[in-house]
Structures are given as structure tokens and as C-alpha cells.
């Protein structure tokens, strides 16, 4: 186990998400609302 932590992690700099993924996440975050009621939290997805 000690060997795993002592090795240098590989750097992967080519992490470019697809435009579809970005659009999906943005649309999801726009539709999501959180309603706080006393100690409760309700998540509503407005489509």
C-alpha cells in the first residue's frame, strides 16, 4: 500500500468535456430548485 502513495500520479491534461455534457449539466442546474421548510430540504426538478 505504501508504494501506491509514494508514486507520482500521472497527469492527464486532456480532460475536455463534450459540449453535450456541459449543456446537460447547465440545464439540470437551471431546473433544480431546493425548497427549505423548517429543518427539511425538498429538491424539485422543474421540467
pTM of the predicted model as reported, rounded to 2 decimal places? 0.51
- State the average pLDDT for the chain: 82
Q: Across residues 15-43, what is the average pLDDT?
A: 91
Q: Across residues 11-19, what is the average pLDDT?
A: 80
What whole-number distance in Å separates Cα of residue 23 and Cα of residue 33?
18
pLDDT value of residue 46:
80
Whether residue 22 is predicted with pLDDT greater than 90 in this model: the reply is yes
Q: What would you measure as the largest C-alpha separation in the chain, in angstroms?
A: 49
Task: Please indicate whether residue 5 or residue 21 has the higher confidence score (pLDDT).
Answer: 21
3-class DSSP assignment, residue 5: helix
Whether residue 45 is predicted with pLDDT greater than 80 in this model: the reply is yes
Amino acid at each position: 500500500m505504501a508504494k501506491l502513495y509514494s508514486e507520482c500520479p500521472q497527469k492527464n491534461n486532456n480532460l475536455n468535456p463534450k459540449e453535450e455534457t456541459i449543456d446537460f449539466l447547465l440545464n439540470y442546474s437551471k431546473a433544480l430548485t431546493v425548497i427549505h421548510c423548517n429543518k427539511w430540504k425538498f429538491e424539485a426538478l422543474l421540467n
